[in-house]
């Protein structure tokens, strides 16, 4: 193999490696799918698609936040965590979703220790 081919393949490998690392850094941590989907129904923050990426809309006030594409998922996680600390309570094997007046809106059953540890890690509850 001559030097030009070696240089080309080395450069190609470097671009693939950098792209893979960039994707890994832009992706937030995995979530407990079942319980996160049930909690997300009550979260006031929703994604809205736009031409330049995603907009985060607070459905309570209607305010819109336009983070750049690389930070949109991280910003949504930050907002969900902040909301969850004030509106989620764990009692026994149930997760209580609280409304604005601290009244229970919904109860979600916690199935296993993994979901409980994820709630503690992600929401801090």
Question: pLDDT for 21-41, tens place per residue?
Answer: 988 887 788 888 899 999 999
36 vs 88: CA distance, rounded Å: 12
If asked whether residues 39 and 99 sit together in one domain, one would say yes
Which domain range does residue 36 map to?
A: 31-123
Residue 100 banded pLDDT, cuts 50, 70, 90 = confident
Q: Rounded mean pLDDT of 88-101?
A: 92
Domain count of the fold of the chain: 2
If asked whether residues 22 and 42 sit together in one domain, one would say no
If asked whether residues 67 and 117 sit together in one domain, one would say yes
If asked whether residues 54 and 7 sit together in one domain, one would say no
Residue 27 has a pLDDT of: 79
Q: Which residues are CB-neighbours of 53 under 8 A, at least 6 positions away? A: 66, 68, 69, 72
If asked whether residues 68 and 117 sit together in one domain, one would say yes
If asked whether residues 74 and 16 sit together in one domain, one would say no
**pTM (global) more than 0.85:** no
Residue 1 has a pLDDT of: 64
Residue 50 banded pLDDT, cuts 50, 70, 90 = confident
Residue 68 has a pLDDT of: 87
Helix, strand or coil, per DSSP, at residue 105: strand
């Amino acid at each position: 193999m001559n030097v030009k081919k070696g240089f080309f393949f080395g450069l190609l490998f470097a671009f693939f490696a950098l792209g893979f690392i960039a994707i890994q850094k832009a992706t937030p941590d995995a979530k407990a799918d079942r319980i996160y989907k049930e909690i997300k129904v009550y979260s006031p923050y929703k994604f809205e698609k736009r031409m330049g990426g995603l907009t985060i809309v607070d459905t309570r006030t209607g305010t819109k936040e336009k983070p750049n594409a690389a930070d949109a998922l991280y910003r949504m996680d930050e907002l969900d965590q902040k909301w969850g600390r004030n509106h989620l309570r764990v009692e026994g094997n149930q997760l209580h979703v609280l409304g604005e007046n601290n009244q229970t809106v919904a109860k979600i059953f916690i199935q296993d220790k993994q979901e409980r540890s994820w709630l503690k890690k992600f929401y801090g509850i």
